[in-house]
Amino acid sequence: MSENKSIDYNIMAAECLVSQDTDDSQTIEHLENLKNNYSEIELIAIFNYFLKIEYRSEVLCWLIRQLDKFRDSSSLEPLTTLLLMKESTPHPDYDKDYYTNVRVLCAKAISNLKDHSSVHPLMYCLNNKDENYKVRLSCADALGRLGDRYAVTSLMSVASDESEKSVYVRESATTALGLIGDMRAVDSLVKILETKTGIMDKFTYLKEKAVEALCRLTPGDGRAFKALKKSLDDENPQVRINAIEALMDYDTQEALELIRGMLTDRDDEVKQNAVIALYNINGEDELNRIINNAQYGDICKEEARRILEEEQDD
């Protein structure tokens, strides 16, 4: 897209109170009014330019949201420049933390452009442990949405790094690995499930994300299967539920029996999910087997009857 040469961006910026010490809402109102007078291609050029000269966080966030709606490739350069902030911030009176929300929105908008050259700046921010954790996790999310396999090694390193200060960054990296779907990630995900000390005792949500990622990868190797099998004994019910869902992808008798074993779990929701999983595998025959088996409690039987009733209504 080429810029419209008839537009004087500096005059327009002055009229719209861009990059001025005025109330944010006044500037945003002026920017909104531009939509009535300019075409989409003109607005993209205008907002791209304003993104380079504006310094107020709220106005920058508004501009990024508008450009994210257009998703034009010409926005990649100004968005990337804002994300990186390698040498300076848009205004000397504000530090990087002031622009955290701006940079988080930049990462999301960049990923939506689906330009694989953006992998490098996203990885740069993710791998920088001195960066704000919100920026880093937003870059991990962006890499997952972008789906570029070049990022897998960095994401694996972050996801399995037990010295990483932010568990939220590890969770985002783990989720991203599942979205990308590269089988190289299996070992890193299994490592998370096998870890028993330190950070894993406190933040079991990371294990949930690891199992979810394995669900997406549907690996057939034995180590992943063993890790999922062990996760059925995890103290966190959601980890056990996620493990049940992952085991559904293993077309083996052992996986089937493991899921059946969860019908006597101590948590009702886990039992219900086991019933649903078994129905998805074997259909109504499995539900009737549950209903007629004395070893299973009322929760399992009620869930089985509920599914049967829904099937009959359909």
Task: Kindly report, residue by residue over 172-218, the tens digit of the pLDDT.
Answer: 999 999 999 999 999 899 988 887 644 445 557 898 899 989 888 86
- Residue 135 makes CB contacts below 8 A (sequence gap 6+) with 83, 100, 103, 104, 107, 125
Q: What confidence category does residue 1 fall into, taking pLDDT thresholds of 50, 70 and 90?
A: very low
Q: Which amino acid is at 224?
A: A
**What tens digit of pLDDT does each residue of 218-227 get?**
656 688 888 8
- Residue 234 makes CB contacts below 8 A (sequence gap 6+) with 204, 207, 240, 243
pLDDT of residue 5: 53
Tokens of 114: 């689906």
d(CA 192, CA 231): 11
Give backbone dihedrals phi and psi of 293, rounded to 5 degrees, phi first: -100, 120
Place of tokens 């190289």: 184
d(CA 188, CA 167): 15
Q: Which amino acid is at 262?
A: M
The pTM assigned to this predicted structure is 0.85
Q: Which amino acid is at 250?
A: Y
The chain-wide mean pLDDT, for the chain, equals 92
Find how far residue 155's CA is from the centre of its chain. Answer: 12
d(CA 244, CA 232): 7
